[in-house]
């Protein structure tokens, strides 16, 4: 007699968009799920999918009529084990999907991992991911990190999204003891003084790690154009290089980035076309939205990441959730990508009227209490996209002021010079612009992010 075993998830039999969420008992992210069932009949042997479609077996669900003889059970177990060890080549899959649409990539992700995958929703334009998942018609799960410091508008969006799609977002919270210790020891806003990494590690990274331990794959809204200096190497699918999944160990978690190759303007065209709910902060100039104390609106023409952790340099504008996709600088002269290769960073501000200062030159300039000419100096890093964005205007300023009683200079303040620049030159983020007046020993920091020629010239005329 032929035997059949159908391995399936209870969630795959229904669609979250077809039933009220109250009818569903959502599995808890970060915990072991024993809700899956094994059904045995006497028709045919059917095993579907690869490793991600094989669920934990709950022997208590086997009825008297569906008892499997020991020999048949051994046969089934060996075949299931054979499926589990089958390994997908996700690098090859990423190449195949490189030119695929976000909808196609989303459909493939949900098909492969079923109930073992979830969308990471931040309350910004990640709502596009939920819309894509909804359009596939497949069941899907959504989780979010509630740091305790989000904007009220973000919380209202969470509620609106749940009602719009008929889902329940699975929230992850930071450890209360860790948050309490941080705030008691350093205060509510310590990140303005010693950087955001510690706070993000407690409020975001560790809760994310707990969430991912209950999954075999996750879906993010990372895009290459979000941060050209750190995210330009994002593949559409990859084995997560940092976090662990349900099975534990390296390679136990797969990361999907369906909109990696999509530009921000196209994402917003999609959101408007589909008329989906979005965060009302976007209408107030907020593009990239995180925690309230660390997020602000950006001006027209500014890059979206300038609204995040604005008091730090561009290279630090990541919270650690996507550490494996970040390009790191190498000895201050090159940028290493995720594959370990490097590309040379070309220097900037190359006008013949821009003076290149060494550290000794800057120290000598600071010692002068009375100068014959005023100086304007940019503290920069050539890999910084915000420095690159102001290169044309700063070179034009140098050409315009040539012979006008003002020296225009640059000082490369990354690498070995960064600590000196932070302690002695008021470096907060790249670029930092200083004016050394003729009759003052102390430099004056240019406070605005308007770095066009007219704005810089106006400031110079007021203080030089």
Per the structure block, which two tokens stand in for 26?
A: 């959502």
Total residues found in the chain within this entry: 464
Helical residues (DSSP H) of 322-390, grouped into ranges: 359-367, 385-389
Which member of 291, 294, 319, 387 is catalytic?
387
Residue in the structure block whose two tokens are 């009759």: 439
Across the beta sheet with 406-412, the strand order is 354-356, 406-412, 374-380, 432-436, 444-445
Q: Please confirm, yes or no, whether 291 is among the known catalytic residues.
A: no
CB 260 within 8 A of CB 235: yes
Peptide bond into 133 cis (omega under 30): no
Helix (H) or strand (E) holding 41: strand 37-41
Which member of 200, 291, 319, 384 is catalytic?
384
Under 8 Å CB-to-CB from 8, ≥6 apart: which residues?
A: 36, 37, 39, 55
CA-to-CA distance for 296 and 284, rounded, in angstroms? 10
CA-to-CA distance for 302 and 131, rounded, in angstroms? 28
Under 8 Å CB-to-CB from 225, ≥6 apart: which residues?
A: 263, 264
Q: How does DSSP classify residue 205? A: I
Q: Please confirm, yes or no, whether 199 is among the known catalytic residues.
A: no
Any idea which residues carry the catalytic annotation? 384, 387
């Amino acid at each position: 007699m032929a035997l059949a075993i159908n391995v399936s998830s209870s969630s795959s039999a229904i669609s979250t968009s077809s039933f009220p969420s109250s009818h569903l008992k959502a599995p808890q992210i970060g915990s072991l799920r024993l809700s899956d069932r094994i059904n045995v009949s006497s028709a045919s042997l059917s095993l579907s999918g690869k490793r991600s479609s094989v669920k934990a077996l709950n022997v208590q669900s086997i009825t008297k009529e569906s008892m499997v003889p020991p020999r048949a059970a051994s046969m089934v177990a060996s075949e299931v084990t054979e499926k589990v060890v089958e390994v997908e080549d996700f690098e090859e899959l990423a190449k195949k999907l490189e030119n695929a649409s976000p909808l196609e990539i989303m459909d493939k992700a949900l098909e492969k991992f079923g109930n073992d995958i979830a969308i990471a929703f931040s309350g910004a334009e990640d709502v596009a991911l939920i819309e894509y998942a909804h359009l596939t018609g497949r069941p899907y799960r959504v989780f979010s990190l509630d740091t305790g410091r989000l904007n009220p508008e973000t919380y209202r969006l969470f509620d609106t999204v749940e009602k719009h799609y008929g889902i329940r977002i699975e929230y992850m919270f930071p450890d209360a003891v860790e948050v309490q210790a941080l705030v008691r020891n350093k205060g509510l806003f310590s990140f303005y003084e010693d950087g955001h990494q510690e706070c993000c590690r407690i409020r975001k990274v560790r809760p994310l790690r707990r969430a991912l331990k209950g999954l075999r794959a996750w879906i993010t809204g990372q895009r290459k154009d979000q941060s050209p200096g750190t995210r330009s190497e994002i593949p559409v699918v990859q084995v997560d290089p940092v976090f662990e999944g349900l099975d534990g160990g390296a390679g136990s978690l797969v990361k999907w980035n369906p909109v990696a190759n999509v530009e921000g303007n196209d994402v917003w065209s999609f959101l408007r076309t589909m008329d989906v709910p979005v965060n009302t902060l976007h209408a107030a100039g907020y593009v990239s939205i995180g925690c309230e104390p660390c997020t602000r609106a950006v001006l027209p023409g500014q890059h979206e990441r300038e609204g995040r952790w604005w008091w730090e340099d561009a290279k630090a504008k990541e919270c650690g959730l996507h550490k494996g996709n970040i390009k790191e600088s190498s000895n201050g002269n090159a940028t290493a990508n995720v594959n370990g290769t490097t590309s040379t960073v070309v220097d900037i501000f190359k006008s013949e009227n821009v003076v290149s200062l060494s550290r000794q030159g800057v120290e000598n300039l600071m010692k002068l209490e009375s100068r014959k000419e005023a100086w304007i100096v940019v503290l920069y890093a050539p890999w910084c996209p915000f420095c690159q964005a102001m290169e044309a205007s700063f070179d034009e300023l140098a050409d315009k002021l040539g012979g006008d009683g003002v020296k225009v200079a640059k000082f490369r303040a990354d690498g070995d010079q960064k600590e000196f620049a932070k302690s002695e030159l008021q470096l907060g983020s790249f670029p930092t612009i200083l004016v050394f007046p003729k009759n003052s020993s102390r430099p004056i920091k240019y406070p605005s992010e308007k770095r066009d020629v007219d704005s810089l010239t106006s400031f110079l005329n007021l203080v030089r």
